[in-house]
Amino acid sequence: MTQGTVLTGNGGNSMDAGKDNNNTSIGEDGQRGRVIQPLWLLIVEVVTGVSVLSILTLCAIAGLRRRKDRSSRRGVPWTRALSWKENNVISIDDDLLGNVPKISRQELAEACEDFSNIIGSSQETVVYKGTMKDGREIAVVSMSASVHHWTNYVELYFQKEVVEVARLSHENAGKMVGYCKSSDPFSRMVVFEYPSNGTLYEHLHDVEGCQLSWPRRMKIALSIARVLRHLHTELQPPFAVAALASSSVYLTEDFSPKIIDFERWRGLVGKPLLSSGCVVNGGGGHSNGVVDSRHVRFMDVQANTFAFGVILLELISGRASLSKDTDDLVNWARKHLEQAGEFGKLVDPKLRSVGQESLGIICNVVNLCIDAEPSRRPSMNMIGAILEEGVDTSVRDSSLAWAEAAIS
CATH number at residue 222: 1.10.510.10
* Residue 43 burial (10 A CB sphere; 0-12, 13-18, 19+): exposed
Domain boundary among 135, 161, 193: 193
Give residue-wise pLDDT tens across range 206-235.
877 677 999 999 999 999 999 999 999 999
- Asked whether residue 247 falls in the same domain as residue 119, the answer is no
Whether 327 and 356 have beta carbons less than 8 Å apart is answered as: no
Integer CA distances (angstroms), 207 to 204, 254, 337, 357, in order: 7, 17, 27, 27
Does 236 lie in the same domain as 154?
no
Q: Does position 174 have pLDDT exceeding 70, yes or no? A: yes
Distance in angstroms (rounded) separating the CA atoms of residues 141 and 174: 13
Residues 334 and 293 in one domain: yes
pLDDT confidence of residue 290: 33
Residue 89 lies in a domain: no
pLDDT digits (tens, 9 = 90+) for 123-141: 889 999 999 999 999 999 9
**Are 183 and 154 in the same domain?**
yes
Query: Does the pLDDT value for residue 348 go beyond 70?
Result: yes
Burial class (CB in 10 A: 0-12, 13-18, 19+), 269: middle
- pLDDT for position 21: 45
% of the chain with per-residue pLDDT over 70: 72
pLDDT of residue 35: 52
Mean pLDDT, range 244-271, rounded to an integer: 89
Residue 127's SS3 state is strand
SS3 377: coil
Query: HSE of 388 in the Cβ direction (CA atoms, 13 Å)?
Result: 11
Asked whether the beta carbons of 261 and 243 are under 8 A apart, the reply is yes
- 326 pLDDT band, cuts 50/70/90, is low
Average pLDDT over residues 94-118: 92
Instruction: Tell me, yes or no, whether 152 and 204 share the same domain.
Output: no
Entry pTM? 0.70
Q: Judge if 299 and 245 occupy the same domain.
A: yes
3-class secondary structure, 365: helix
Q: Is 253 exposed, middle or buried (0-12, 13-18, 19+ CB in 10 A)?
A: exposed
Same domain, 188 and 205: no
Q: Do 313 and 297 share a structural domain? A: yes
Whether 383 is in a domain gets the answer yes
Indicate the SS3 state at residue 199: strand
| Host domain of residue 112 | 105-193
Inter-axis angle of helices 329-337 and 293-317, nearest 10: 70
Domain boundary among 193, 223, 254: 193
In whole angstroms, give the CA distance from residue 144 to residue 253: 31
232, 316: one domain:
yes
Task: Report residue 118: phi and psi, to 5°.
Answer: -90, 130
Dist. CA 31–CA 262, nearest whole Å: 105
pLDDT of amino acid 281: 36
The last residue of one of the domains, among 141, 162, 193, is: 193
In a domain, 32, yes or no: no
If we measure between CA atoms, which residue out of 194, 359, 225, 385 comes closest to residue 305? 225
50 occurs within a structural domain: no
Question: What's the rounded Cα separation, in Å, for the pair 211 and 220?
Answer: 13
Specify whether 160 is located in the same domain as 266. Answer: no
Residue 147 domain-assigned? yes
Whether 341 maps to a domain, the answer reads yes
**194 pLDDT tier (thresholds 50, 70, 90):** very high
Q: Assess whether 339 and 243 both reside in one domain.
A: yes
The CATH code of the domain that includes 144 is 3.30.200.20
**188 and 214: one domain?**
no
Mean pLDDT confidence for 272-293? 37
Task: List the one residue out of 224, 219, 204, 361 whose CA is nearest residue 304.
Answer: 224
How many structural domains comprise the chain? 2
In a domain, 76, yes or no: no
Asked if residue 68 is part of any domain, the answer here is: no
Tens-place pLDDT, residues 32-91: 445 566 777 778 777 787 777 878 887 778 777 776 655 444 433 333 334 444 444 555
